[in-house]
Amino acid sequence: MFRVKEGKISSNGLFVMLIILLVAKIFLGVPQAMVEEGDSAAWLLIIVSALAAVPGIWVLLKLMKKFPGKNLIQIAEELLGRPGAFLTGLILSFFSLFMASVIVREFSETVLTTVLPQTPISIISFFFIGAMLLGAYNGLEVISRASTLLYPFILAGIFSILFLTSNYINFNNLFPIMGSGVGKILYHAPGRSSMYTEVIFAGLIAANIKDTDVIPRQVWKAFAVSVVIFVVVELFYVADLRVPAAQKLYVPLFQLARLIYMGRFIQRIESVYIFVWFFLGALKLTVFLYSSAVALGWAFKIPIYQPLLFPISLLIFALSFIPAGVYTAFQLDMSIIREYGAIIAWGLPLALLVAAAVRRKGGGQTENKMDK
Amino acid sequence: MIVLILVLSVSFTLGCWDRKELEDQAFVQAIGIDKGQDNQLLVTFRIAIPSKAGLGPTGAGGGGGGGVGSVAAKSSLLTTVAAPTIPAAITLASGYVNRELNLMHTKVFIFGEPFARQGVGPLLSILSRYRELRRNIFVCVAKGEAFKLLAENTPDLEKSFTKYWEGVKLLESRLAINPGSLFHEFAIDTEALGISGTMMYLAENERAKTAKAGDIKIPPSFMEGNLGIKAGEIPRTGGNPIEYIGTAVFKGDKFTDVLNLTETQSFLMLTGNFNRATLGVKDPLIKNRFIPFEIKQGSPPIVKVDIKGDRVKIKERLSVEGDLVAIQGPVEYATDLGKQKLLQSAVEKHLEEQACSMVKRLQKRGIDMVGYGDYAKRNFLTRAEWNKYNWPEKFKEAEIDLKFVFRIRRTGLQGRQPEIHP
Amino acid sequence: MTKMSRKPNKTDGRDQDNGKKDTLTETKGFKHPKKAYTVAALKELRKKSTRPSKVQPEQVPVSKDLGQNLRIISDLFHLPKNKDVVIREFLVPLLCPVKAAIIYIDGAADTKLVDGFVLQPLMLLSNINKLDEGGNFETVKNLLVPANQVKQAGNQQEIIDGVVNGDTAILLDNCDLALIVETKGWPGRSVSDPKTERVTQGPHESFNESFRQSLALIRKRVRTNSLMTEYFKVGWRSGTDLALVYLDGVVNPQIVREMKKRLKYIKVAYVTDTGIIQQFISDSPYSLIPTSLSTERPDRVAAYLNEGHVVIIMDGSPFAIIAPITIWGLLHSPEDYYLNPVVGTFTRIIRTISFFIGVMTPAFYIAITNYHPEMIPTDLLLAIAATREVVPFPVVVEVLLMEFSFELIREAGVRIPSVLGPTIGIVGALILGQAAVQANIVSPILVIVVAITALSSFTIPNIAFSLSIRILRFIFIILASIVGFIGIAFGLMVLTYMVTGLKSLGVPMLAPVAPFKPMSGDIVIRRPFFSFDSMPKYTNPQAKFLQAKLVRKWDPISRNKVKGDS
């Protein structure tokens, strides 16, 4: 049976990678966009949109449970034959590619606006792309290990920002408690559930995880942890800044870092957070590049995905320059990917699950096709 | 190796777009903004001169010449430029300062009074947008012109202005003589509906330079045991003529009023930002004797805002603790519990009067300094409802009820009063 | 990317006769033809050297004629010319006296042993009561050679092997077997202090160049019959002894198999130190971070053996190789274990921090002063700016100058005779720093930066690791000078990807942190020794426990803990 040559990781690695994928967006526009729509109840919007994402994730996991040890493309092949697999692979590949190019742009753009205003954007993008090329070239095992090594520092970085700005907290800022109103929150929540679209990555690498039976638990864990992180960051963000101001800031977490003022010594230290920021961005991009290449590999039956990396990263590099300015780039992320990404991320597994029900295939048989 | 040489040569010649050596930049320590002619700005920069700065090998003896100037004043350059915008002022200033101006280390923004009265709104944007300026910059209003204040500011103890301003800010938590406002706080308060912004208040004491110790005039509020003065009014001679006591009150983005020292203390207490200060209270039993306390806030204030239709009822409960520092009269407040109670209620009354008069004065003008609106928000479910309620108008009519609970915790190192024999 | 582009070039060089590619190679200079020549020449040389004469010595059996044997041997050793090899002919006065000869190398064999335990019994004691044990050879072997190790040799090669290894060969007339008697007497040091891994508390013994002594030092610490020492010979000319040491029943057999495989493939003329072996067996030889640990401390080796690692001891090298290792092992010093766990943890934290200081301080200095000046406290900033005003170079050049001169001092310090070394090092550093500051070539703060960097790179216990830190430092300096913190972050990210990809004998170098495995509390934080219940898991050792579950039975606190656990 055909396989793209990849490494094997433990489900722990999956957990960490999902955390990185999910949490990275907190450094970009997410907190601000949430306040924009949810007002002082931004945290509630996050929780509701997480609830909206639950069925999507459930469908994905249900599908994975029916076909243990197989990734989405293999499942599609079994259910819909070659064309199905081809299409699934292509969709996943382009989805990742598109996300990656937007994120490259956003991260580079924020570096430019905050610390290095005169450096050409291509240079900054080059550093991100260089890092992700190297990581994706080394394969899944290395990405998962690097994530495992760095994610404590990343989380520590995020929480240290929150802790160091805690002198600005004013709980009155969290009122009125319902923010923009229940109706608005419910209206925006389904679209915002695409904050969690990255979970689909679990379906893409399902075939490379050693302990298949604990995948659902790890996915739920990663989902829950990132929702908690989102909520906590959002609460701090709104409590530190009043809603009107919170609705206007780009790169909210970095703005919080700029606010740090703890006496004469601990201030103006936001540049240190560039590290957290770069690690998070580079890791996330690495995963996207990797999944784009691997999905393409599965779609075209290319057993070695490494040669695909360079062309794909060139594409990402080129695509990332399409948005004209920083505002368009952020709009692209917040209003297209984060609004309609859900359709792909939740729709694809659902379609496959429906196909499985119609064809009456799968059902958790423990046939061991992994060794072939 | 070849790659290495290539990278090196590239990095030395082409690259390094943002690389700026420290010695190629002029670091601005303070900026003053005044109203110029025809709505132009008068921007005053206080620029550090590194070679004369305190720590430098040549700067150590900078103040050795004696005379008027302080080390800090001598190790920096003061210049005022007229320009339509701050970036334009930076460009113009670079035209003769010989180095690119860098605002990353700017500690303080001082607005001249005429400018502040007209409204600081146009400048809010640059402070929150421009990457070199930070949201945690200190903001002050100067009595008169900012450039004059910056010029007269000659710190005596500090060798650099940065440290001087840090010291001013520190006095917020040490003695509560000014609100220690950061731009961030001012900006978010100004933007919000339920609270108004504040800045520190600075003024030059013109009499301090010329007056002699013998003919210092005592402000009338001192007779009440009350330090009801603001910057520029300290009865004194000598020292840095610039004073930083009091709070500049804003309505919207316009500077409208000043709180004096005691009012500032009350203000900080009411908002829960009060840390520690001294307080002098008239002895309830003996005339013309005062009892100084060191007071601190026991627990954060409890605010309740009841809204019934258009009627607003605001209740605030504060708990303040104090240590006796001295008793001028012969009454044994330290050991006699009955008399202590008397003293406590006297202090409570004193604090209440202070706070009430301040809050009510501003309430009449529709300024919600303490941010009762913030608490009022809790009564609403959504922002739309809150916005509709029109708090600033309703606040004018609100009923405000302040209650202080004061407890004497410690009485210093001594029990009974010293006996004085004739 | 560089990897990809380099590969085709290599093949270009090899397929020299391919006319098309010649045009390609021309642009690159003479490199390729030269390479091709050396490859071809090497093949020739190998052919020659493996066959010194037309007939292989192992094909020549020991002849029954002593004279014939001696002729062959003298021929093989180029005898009259070669002065080291001694052939002593004599008569063994057995029942029927027999002609005999011994062959040994002067200097390699201990002459006292040869005299007292080979010649004396054969020539004198054989005379006392004439015995016969079924033939002369058997008699000599069983009765007349009171040496502890005696081997039989059936062909010339075995005789040569024995003799070049310092043993003595006994040849008897009318006998088609030779006896190889153990008489090794190589000169060598006695056991002395470790030179590179000194500790304040803990054993002060170290391995030395003598194979047997080194092995004995391990045996001294691991006294069990399951301690295995498998011998290998490496180098067809140096004929170096290698021992693969491991604890049977503890170590994962796959690791032993893998190591044996790698050792087997070392086909070279000579090796002179374990450092060379390390390059042969390394998973990624170009990695800046060593993938095996070389140590001269037998206590360390013993500890690693007990935790399921394999060790290589080589004759002639005072350093043992330990594999597989993790990157944490490179930051550990045996002292950590001998001191209180709190102290041990503290020193480890210091070392871990100093790794980062050593790699990144100069880069940080450049990044902060050139790109992120807001991070420096204003007064310090002004002070730095003031000192920089008289310096004509950009910070990068300044840093590179200082770092380079520091590297000079360090390199010189190693070569300077040991008595003068430290003095000159200090003097050089002090005078250079001071003078450079006074001459306005560098700013005084930079001297602090460089000094701290230098100090911290010396706190790393592993020499190979501390050397690679210095190279990493220069890479980070360049990155920082291009885009500041982004450059450093990029460097760290690349380093992370490289390190996480590193394997030592198939074990990920960052285990048990990434990939995450249950930890034994022995990484940066060192738990007390009595809590090291289980073996480190990342090597999949056969043995599971290092100690009993309840080692502090008398201690009510730990007893309760165990009860609570179970």
Of B59, B75, B86, B61, the C-alpha closest to B26 is B75
Residue the block writes with tokens 């009338």:
B220
- Is residue C42 pLDDT above 80, yes or no? no
Cβ count within 10 A of residue C309: 31
Kindly state whether A116 is in contact with chain B, defined as any CB-CB distance less than 8 angstroms.
yes
Cβ-defined contact of A176 to B386 (cutoff 8 Å): yes
Of C398, C379, C381, the C-alpha closest to C443 is C398
Candidates B3, B11, B160, B166, partner chain C, best to mutate (most C CBs within 10 A): B11
Cα distances (Å, whole numbers) of residue C499 to A149, C309, C522: 10, 20, 19
Kindly state whether A179 is in contact with chain B, defined as any CB-CB distance less than 8 angstroms.
yes
Closest Cβ opposite residue C382 in set B8, B50, B107: B50
Cβ count within 10 A of residue B236: 14
Candidates A260, A261, A274, partner chain B, best to mutate (most B CBs within 10 A): A261
Scanning C481-500 for CB atoms below 8 A from B yields 481-484
Cβ-defined contact of C386 to B58 (cutoff 8 Å): yes
In the 8-state DSSP scheme, what is residue B101? E
Closest Cβ opposite residue C379 in set B16, B51, B54: B54
What pLDDT was estimated at residue C433?
A: 81
Q: Write out pLDDT tens, residues C100-119.
A: 899 999 888 888 888 888 88
Which residues in chain A are closer than 8 Å to B383, comparing Cβ atoms?
39-40, 176, 179-181, 243
Of B354, B339, B334, the C-alpha closest to B404 is B354
Scanning B78-107 for CB atoms below 8 A from C yields 102, 104-105, 107
What pLDDT was estimated at residue C11?
A: 40
Task: Return the residue of C nearest to B22 by Cα.
Answer: C385
pLDDT digit string (tens) for chain A, length 372 residues: 677 777 888 888 899 999 999 999 888 888 888 898 888 899 999 999 999 999 999 999 989 888 888 888 889 988 888 898 999 999 999 989 988 998 899 888 888 888 888 888 888 898 999 999 999 999 999 999 999 999 999 999 999 999 999 988 988 888 888 888 888 899 888 888 888 888 989 988 888 888 888 899 999 999 999 999 999 999 999 998 888 888 888 788 888 888 898 877 888 888 889 899 899 999 999 999 999 999 999 999 888 999 999 999 999 999 988 888 878 877 777 777 777 777 888 888 898 888 888 887 665 444 444 333
Where in chain C are the domains? Answer: 2-50, 57-181, 211-325, 361-507, 529-565
Phi, psi of A42 (to 5 degrees): -55, -35
Burial class for C565, CB neighbours closer than 10 Å (0-12, 13-18, 19+): exposed
Cβ-defined contact of B136 to A261 (cutoff 8 Å): yes
Kindly state whether C452 is in contact with chain A, defined as any CB-CB distance less than 8 angstroms.
no
**What superfamily in CATH does domain B272-414 come from?**
Nutrient germinant receptor protein C, domain 3 (3.30.300.210)
Cβ count within 10 A of residue B18: 18
Cβ-defined contact of C494 to A130 (cutoff 8 Å): yes
- Give the list of residues 6+ apart from residue C80 with CB closer than 8 angstroms, or none: C74
Which residues in chain A are closer than 8 Å to B384, comparing Cβ atoms?
180-181
Question: Are the beta carbons of C289 and C176 closer than 8 angstroms?
Answer: no
What pLDDT was estimated at residue B194?
A: 79
Residue C246 banded pLDDT, cuts 50, 70, 90? very high
Which residues in chain A are closer than 8 Å to C501, comparing Cβ atoms?
138, 141-142, 145
C23-29: average pLDDT: 39
What number of H helices and E strands is found in chain A? 15, 2
Relative to beta strand B198-204, strand B399-410 is unpaired
Question: Are the beta carbons of A203 and A71 closer than 8 angstroms?
Answer: yes
Question: Are the beta carbons of B140 and B201 closer than 8 angstroms?
Answer: yes
- Is residue C548 pLDDT above 70, yes or no? yes
What pLDDT was estimated at residue A368?
A: 42
Scanning C356-415 for CB atoms below 8 A from A yields 368, 371-372, 374-375, 377
Closest Cβ opposite residue C490 in set A10, A130, A268: A130
Mean pLDDT of chain C: 82
Question: CA-based diameter of chain C, in Å?
Answer: 102
Cβ-defined contact of A172 to B374 (cutoff 8 Å): yes
C486-510: average pLDDT: 91
Cβ-defined contact of B131 to A114 (cutoff 8 Å): yes
Domains annotated for chain A, with CATH where assigned, are 11-357 (1.20.1740.10)
- Given CA atoms A116, A121, A124, A125 in this order, what sign does their dihedral have? positive
Where in chain B are the domains? Answer: 26-55+70-259, 272-414
Kindly state whether B131 is in contact with chain A, defined as any CB-CB distance less than 8 angstroms.
yes
Kindly state whether B419 is in contact with chain C, defined as any CB-CB distance less than 8 angstroms.
no
ipTM of the complex as predicted: 0.93
- Give the list of residues 6+ apart from residue A64 with CB closer than 8 angstroms, or none: A70, A202, A203, A206, A215, A216
CA distance B278 to chain A (A): 22
- Given CA atoms C273, C276, C281, C287 in this order, what sign does their dihedral have? positive
Closest Cβ opposite residue B160 in set C371, C373, C378: C378
In degrees, to the nearest 5, what angle opens at C-alpha C462 toward C-alphas C456 and C468?
70
- Is residue C29 pLDDT above 70, yes or no? no
- Given CA atoms C59, C62, C65, C69 in this order, what sign does their dihedral have? positive
pLDDT digit string (tens) for chain B, length 422 residues: 666 666 666 655 555 677 888 888 899 999 999 998 888 899 999 999 888 875 444 434 433 334 445 777 888 889 999 999 888 999 999 889 888 899 999 999 999 999 999 988 888 888 888 888 888 899 999 998 999 999 988 888 888 888 888 888 888 878 888 888 899 999 988 888 878 889 999 999 888 878 787 778 888 878 777 788 888 888 888 888 899 999 999 988 899 989 988 899 899 999 888 888 888 888 888 888 888 889 988 888 999 999 888 888 999 999 999 888 888 888 888 888 888 899 999 999 989 988 999 998 898 888 888 889 888 888 888 888 888 888 888 888 888 999 999 998 888 888 788 888 87
